[in-house]
Amino acid sequence: MKITGIETYPVRIPLKPARRMISALGQHVESKFLIVRVLTDAGIEGVGEATVTPRWSGETVWGAQSMVDRVLAPAVIGLDPHDIEGLERQMERFCIHNWFAKSAIEMACWDIQGKAAGKPVYELLGGACRPLAIRCRFSIGAYPPERTRQRATELIAEGFTTLKVKVGTKPAEDIERVRIVREVAGPGPDMVIDANCGWDAATAIAACKELEDCNVGLFEQPTPDGDYAAIAEVRRSIKPLVMADDMCFNLVHAKELIRNEGCDVISIYPGKNGGIHRSKVIVEYAAQHGIACSIGSNLEWDIGTAAMCHLAVACPNLQLEKFPGDILGPDYHEFSIAKNPLSIKGPIVTITDRPGLGVDVDWDVIKKNLI
Ligand SMILES: [Mg+2]
């Protein structure tokens, strides 16, 4: 089988007002995605999604479209979509970084493989090692006190047992927000904080000391991208476990994190890590070194979310029972791009055993929302 063409669709989708996210990186009120359609000479097509957020990954929907149209598509047309490592090598020859753009093509190739074999992607990755229904955590944005209280109350009522709170802005306001969530949640639910690179080591350590009575279990990305010494210093100095997210895009980053003893957990997702296969390589490397992995989010739409779920279902070291991921992206958006949206009920997202990624894209919705 050969790839014969790649079509790109840049789209814009608003977030539900109640779900608009505020973090150390600013406000997220709408998502822009590049949807990629990979065509083959067998008449089987696959779909992929580049979940681009410039302030997070440096990629834009226009940049991703141009990269795919002008650089990556010409490089991979003619390749067999079954040869994922060949595809990776070829994309690498022509383009450094741009993980989300590359991942869109790569996940589409897995979708094609699954459709050709009549198997869901998780089967192609080695088979299911956990149920197709996955329990997630919920992220509470860096909201003011009243909105924080209201959201925390709603989330507990919806059945969430792990709550993540965005910090990394002004420490006094962040600490107050975490206190409010713990007060509303009571002592039971697990609590995660995420600074999205927003603090230096001293601020992160001081904030953790002040929050000792809030029983925070996990501190996600306390310090800036690229600073392995800072995250290691935080890890040595605080009680909560430390998770690396915004600084781990590839295997080299994962190796440096582990070499520097910078984290207990690495947050993985196919978009950020350049595809499903590259994510699996990092998850397996981490497993060999006793480091757990979880799944993070850039507020993916249905295709990106399905890719995350297939990976999670197939990788034992994606320890989502202990460290629930954020696999709820479609639920943040005002509408779905799928004719068969993923089931998301409260904290539980469920994929099906349909072939490929299992997402039937509604191309009319895509075409109506083109940028
Ligand atoms: Mg994160």
Contact 6, 77 (CB under 8 A): yes
Pick the CATH number of 3-118+363-368 from 3.40.50.720, 3.30.1300.10, 3.30.390.10, 1.20.1050.140: 3.30.390.10
CA of 358 to the centre of ligand 1 (A): 26
* Ligand 1 centroid distance, CA of 27 (Å): 14
The pLDDT value recorded for residue 26 is: 78
Write down the CATH number for the domain with range 124-350.
Answer: 3.20.20.120
Report the separation in Å between the CA atom of 223 and the middle of ligand 1, taken as the mean of its atom positions. Answer: 12
166 C-alpha vs ligand 1 centroid, how far in Å? Answer: 9
Distance from the CA of 219 to the center of ligand 1, in angstroms?
Answer: 10
Q: What pLDDT sits at residue 25?
A: 75
pLDDT, position 12: 94
Whole-number Å distance, alpha carbon 297 to ligand 1 midpoint, is: 7
| Cα(336) to centroid(ligand 1), Å | 23
- Is the separation of the CB atoms in 9 and 366 below 8 Å? yes
CA of 213 to the centre of ligand 1 (A): 23
Span from the CA of 62 to the centroid of ligand 1 (angstroms): 24
| Gap from CA of 196 to ligand 1 centroid (Å) | 6
pLDDT 10s digits, 26-59: 787 899 999 999 999 999 999 999 999 998 899 9
Looking at residue 21, its pLDDT comes to: 72
Q: How far is the CA of 195 from the centre of ligand 1 (A)?
A: 8
DSSP 71: I
- Cα of 63 from ligand 1 centre, angstroms: 23
Predicted local distance difference test score (pLDDT) of residue 356:
98
For 66-74, which contacts have Cβ atoms below 8 Å and span 24 or more sequence positions?
Answer: 67/95, 67/98, 67/101, 68/6, 68/8, 68/34, 68/36, 68/101, 68/104, 68/105, 69/6, 69/8, 71/95, 72/6, 72/101, 72/102, 72/105, 73/5, 73/6, 73/105
- Domain boundaries along the sequence of the chain: 3-118+363-368, 124-350
Say how many Å lie between the CA of residue 230 and the centre of ligand 1: 17
Position 244 scores a pLDDT of 98
How many angstroms does the Cα of residue 131 sit away from the middle of ligand 1? 24
- Ligand 1 center–CA 220 separation, angstroms: 6
pLDDT tens digits for 98-155?
999 999 999 999 999 999 999 999 999 999 999 999 999 999 999 999 999 999 999 9
Beta strands in the chain (DSSP E): 3-14, 21-23, 26-28, 30-40, 45-52, 133-135, 138-140, 162-166, 190-194, 218-220, 241-244, 265-268, 292-295, 343-345, 348-350
How many Å lie between the centroid of ligand 1 and the Cα of residue 8?
27
* β partners of residue 219: 193, 242
Predicted pLDDT at 94: 98
For the chain, residues with pLDDT lower than 50 are none
Q: How far is the CA of 2 from the centre of ligand 1 (A)?
A: 36
Tell me the CA–centroid distance for residue 258 and ligand 1, in Å: 18
The span from the CA of 82 to the CA of 98, in Å, is: 22
